Amino acid sequence: MLRVLFVGDVYGKPGRRVLASHLPTIRSQFHFVIVNGENAAGGFGLNRESFDAITRAGADCVTLGNHAWHHKEVFSLLDDRRVVRPVNLPIGTPGSGFQTFDVKGDSGALERITVVNALGRVFMEATHNPFLTMDELLSRDDLGSVFLDFHAEATSEKAAMGQYLAGRVAGVVGTHTHVATADTRLLRGGTAFQTDAGFTGPMDSVIGADPEGPILRFTTEMHSRFTVKDGPAELNGVIMHIEDGRAEFVERYHHEERA
């Protein structure tokens, strides 16, 4: 059995800070840790500094999302097999949309897990169909247990993906909205599911940003610059116990820094 922790979107310096301070204290409880680093560099994208901070904290794999190309440094990071960009991008896009790892589990034997990152299409920029892309990927027979980080806006699309892949993958957990949902459960066939893992970043914020910028935009309909909110941060994630391609246990994980 593999005990797996998935950590939701790390947002800016506060997210990196809470990850660096807390993940090492619980890292020994897990065989494998996946972290979404989509917003780790100043709230947008991934750069070398943020990638190094995430992996030093204990991440075995870093997934991305719709801000994957925000920093030019990401192109050199994509050579590292620990970085997984969205799978449903055009052929020829740098990097890989999935990576397979052999991990030593409870028994001491190596167990295979494949981490996939996919983008939704509802209220998002156009990409290839993520449902059909997953069908194509799952036709392979060398993946082992499959976990999907589904980076999507609409809860309906994420719920549909969970049901579509139920019994075919070990886990489907959503990212992107930065708000943890209360629907953590095992779907039929042993698929761990949560619509959104929530984010790892500043608590007193608007999904990571200082409230002043979003409030100004909503009240005036004028463009305003968003900045990362400072202050105490929270870490949100999902714990899964996976064996032979199926999840046997799933629960939400939440930690808050003290002010």
Task: Write out the catalytic residue numbers.
Answer: 67
> Cα separation of 122 and 191, whole Å?
23
What CA–CA distances, in Å, run from 216 to 30, 179, 223? 42, 21, 8
Kindly state the greatest CA–CA separation across the chain: 59
Strand 32-36 vs strand 2-7: parallel, antiparallel, or unpaired?
Answer: parallel
Q: How many residues does the chain have?
A: 259
User: Residue 98 CA to chain centroid, in angstroms?
Assistant: 13
Burial bucket for residue 73 (CB in 10 Å: 0-12, 13-18, 19+): middle
Q: Other C-beta atoms within 10 Å of 207: how many?
A: 19
| 84, β-bridge pairs | 63
